[in-house]
């Protein structure tokens, strides 16, 4: 691990903000590091309000999208809400379809089969629409590159509205409306929404025409918050507002599907981490193991008993997903060693029977061992299909674009992408990808970095500081949990390893004469010898709250020690 302390921001800016907010300079420093420099920016950060959401009609083509949907309703047309099989896609489909169904019955949903159709808009989906009399398809979290598909639909008198957040190619599909803030000609003030976020802007615009206020749409924000957390989009601007209020819905009045997924969790208040690690993997498991339709059924079900039935099926898919993920990761790591590929700049592995639904997770797991851009391939029909994952700071989408002559198709973003290629092009692509990464990656990017906000003493961790840091939530990219460094820490003699494989580390630490404090280090069991015999060590950690037997106490969540 590379430890880097964030550069100290301008002293003048820190002093001005501390005075304006009447807070300690230490807290002002943390805020300025996050780009919060004025009283108004701090107000938006600490007191998110739905009034801070932008007018949806500022998005290019929003007027056309609303007009076409209203025309479809007026003419009694059948509308098909189409979306990808991941969390962002299934939540977006659940959101738009359930909203439209509150006042119009001729609405159905379609999630492509991961194995039969692959990612995004499919010809099979358009044929389904054609065979069943649908004349309008609303595509969510996909479609920005579906030029041929949209043309194919047009020949069958089917119109498309595309709601996507991925980067467009050189040309846009000839859809009735293309809602994507990443379009060069779109001046929407915030371009980091996820697919479900774009879907929310669409229902916001539709609602305005029905004299609905933003308050009327709050019940849909549990879906939006889940998509924001799962899709790892920046936790800034509109995303932060939507996630903030969405978490309130998840905790106070969630839809039956969420209630069914979380009712066994003992925690009083779920935070964004719980959404990422508890809710999102289960919703994802449906599309990975069986079919994304199961997730949409769960998220749009309003009978709690039925939702519980759906949730228990999804729980079974999630267990299967975990087993597959373990097994394939083991096989992939074995392959890297066997082929003597430990010293490469990339990891590219293939086995034809690997389960297509978990190769993305396996790619992330491999990065935990060999920290470098990673692609995991499997056989899909007569082609090879892969999921790509990247390391901090490296744009894997750009690297794929540089090798695109070897690919059939690809799409995604900086840190995650998907692609297909012909079997005969696999080796040429593998070599080209290695060459591109070797030439473009900065050597530092091949060592995981812990970015530290500040060095503090354990005595600085007061109830007041903990309360203030809680108000920094929800955390996510560009607003990560503050990370602190403390030197000359000693364990008081209670160090122990935890977990089935003793992979975790539990300590009780002091610095000088400070009060003792519990500390937990997930995955740090192998570093226990650094803490024995009361030897001093340096610790990098987040300040966490631990709930146990109804009591809440402060603990350090260790990220690394040395």
Determine the pLDDT at residue 473.
Answer: 94
**Residues paired with residue 75 on neighbouring β-strands, in sequence order:** none
Give the Cα separation of 472 and 334 in Å (integer): 42
CA nearest to 228, candidates 544, 474, 33 = 474
Place of tokens 């029905």: 210
- CB of 197 within 8 A of CB of 227? yes
Q: Is the dihedral angle over the CA atoms 39, 43, 45, 46 positive or is it negative? A: positive
Query: What is the separation of C-alpha 468 from the centre of its chain, rounded to a whole number of angstroms?
Result: 25
User: How many helices and strands, by DSSP H and E, does the chain display?
Assistant: 19, 19
Alpha-helical regions (H) of 441-500: 463-470
Determine the pLDDT at residue 39.
Answer: 95
Q: Tokens representing 18?
A: 């501390």
Residue 327's Cβ-count burial label (10 Å; 0-12, 13-18, 19+) is: middle
Place of tokens 């089917």: 158
Q: Nearest 5°: phi and psi at 32?
A: -65, -35
pLDDT digits (tens, 9 = 90+) for 38-53: 999 999 999 999 999 9
Residue 48, SS3 per DSSP: coil
Determine the pLDDT at residue 494.
Answer: 84
CA nearest to 100, candidates 77, 119, 121 = 77
Q: Does the predicted model carry a pTM greater than 0.95?
A: no
Q: Tokens representing 66?
A: 């609303």
Per-residue pLDDT of the chain (562 residues; tens, 9 = 90+): 899 999 999 999 999 999 999 999 999 999 999 999 999 999 999 999 999 999 999 999 999 999 999 999 999 999 999 999 999 999 999 999 999 999 999 999 999 998 888 788 999 999 999 999 999 999 999 999 999 999 999 999 999 999 999 989 899 999 999 999 999 999 999 999 999 999 999 999 999 999 999 999 999 999 999 999 998 899 999 999 999 999 999 999 999 999 999 887 777 789 999 999 999 999 999 988 889 999 999 999 999 999 999 999 999 999 999 999 999 999 999 999 999 988 999 999 999 999 998 999 999 999 999 999 999 999 988 999 999 999 999 999 999 999 999 999 888 888 889 999 999 999 999 999 999 999 999 999 999 999 999 999 999 998 889 999 999 999 999 999 999 999 999 998 888 999 888 999 999 999 998 888 999 999 999 999 999 888 999 999 999 988 777 777 889 999 999 9
Long-range contacts of 317-320 (CB under 8 A, 24+ apart): 317/282, 317/285, 317/286, 317/288, 317/289, 317/290, 318/281, 318/282, 318/285, 318/289, 320/285, 320/289
Determine the pLDDT at residue 551.
Answer: 78
Alpha-helical regions (H) of 102-157: 123-131, 147-155
Determine the pLDDT at residue 408.
Answer: 92
Q: Tokens representing 303?
A: 């009978």
Determine the pLDDT at residue 256.
Answer: 96
């Amino acid at each position: 691990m590379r430890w880097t302390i964030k550069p100290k921001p301008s002293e003048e800016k820190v002093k001005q903000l501390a005075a304006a907010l009447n807070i300690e300079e230490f807290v002002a420093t943390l805020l300025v590091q996050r780009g919060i420099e004025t009283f108004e920016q701090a107000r938006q950060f600490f007191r998110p309000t739905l009034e801070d959401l932008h007018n949806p009609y500022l998005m290019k083509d929003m007027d056309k999208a609303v007009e076409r949907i209203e025309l479809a309703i007026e003419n009694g047309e059948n509308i098909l809400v189409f979306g990808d099989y991941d969390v962002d896609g299934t939540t977006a489909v659940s959101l738009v379809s359930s909203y439209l169904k509150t006042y119009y019955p001729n609405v159905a949903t379609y999630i492509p089969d991961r194995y039969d159709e692959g990612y995004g808009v499919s010809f099979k989906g358009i044929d389904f629409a054609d065979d069943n009399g649908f004349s309008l398809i609303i595509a969510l979290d996909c479609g920005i590159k579906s030029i041929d598909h949209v043309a194919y639909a047009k020949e069958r008198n089917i119109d498309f509205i595309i709601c996507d957040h991925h980067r467009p190619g050189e040309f846009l599909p000839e859809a009735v409306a293309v809602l994507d803030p990443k379009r060069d000609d779109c001046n929407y003030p915030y371009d980091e929404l996820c697919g479900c976020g774009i879907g929310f802007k669409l229902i916001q615009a539709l609602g305005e025409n029905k004299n609905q206020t933003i308050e009327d749409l709050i019940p849909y924000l549990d879906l939006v918050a889940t998509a924001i957390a799962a899709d790892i989009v920046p936790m800034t601007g509109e995303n932060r507002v939507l996630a903030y209020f969405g978490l309130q819905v998840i905790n106070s009045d969630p839809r039956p599907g969420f209630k069914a997924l979380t009712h066994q969790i003992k925690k009083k208040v779920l935070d964004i981490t719980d959404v990422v690690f508890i809710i999102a993997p289960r919703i994802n498991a449906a599309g990975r193991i069986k079919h994304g339709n199961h997730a949409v059924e769960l998220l749009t079900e309003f009978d709690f008993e039925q939702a519980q039935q759906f949730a228990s099926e999804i729980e079974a898919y999630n267990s299967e997903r975990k087993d597959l993920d373990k097994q394939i990761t083991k096989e992939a790591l074995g392959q890297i060693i066997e082929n003597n590929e430990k010293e490469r700049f990339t990891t590219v592995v293939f086995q034809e029977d690997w389960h297509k639904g978990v190769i993305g997770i396996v790619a992330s797991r491999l990065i935990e061992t060999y920290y470098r851009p990673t692609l995991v391939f499997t056989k899909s029909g007569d082609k090879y299909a892969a999921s790509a994952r990247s390391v901090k700071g490296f744009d894997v989408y750009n690297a794929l674009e540089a090798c695109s002559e070897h690919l059939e198709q690809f799409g995604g973003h900086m840190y995650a992408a998907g692609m297909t290629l012909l079997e005969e092009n696999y080796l040429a692509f593998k070599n080209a990808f290695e060459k591109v990464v070797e030439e473009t990656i900065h050597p530092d990017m091949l060592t995981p970095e812990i970015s530290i906000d500040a060095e503090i003493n354990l005595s600085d961790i007061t109830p007041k500081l903990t309360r203030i840091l809680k108000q920094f939530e929800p955390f996510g990219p560009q607003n990560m949990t503050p990370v602190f460094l403390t030197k000359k820490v000693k364990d008081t003699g209670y160090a122990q390893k935890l977990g089935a494989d003793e992979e975790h580390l539990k300590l009780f630490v002091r610095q000088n004469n400070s009060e003792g404090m519990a500390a937990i280090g997930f995955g740090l069991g192998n570093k226990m010898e650094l803490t024995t015999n009361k030897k001093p060590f340096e610790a990098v950690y987040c300040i966490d709250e631990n709930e146990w037997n109804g009591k809440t106490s402060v603990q350090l969540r260790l990220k690394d020690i040395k």
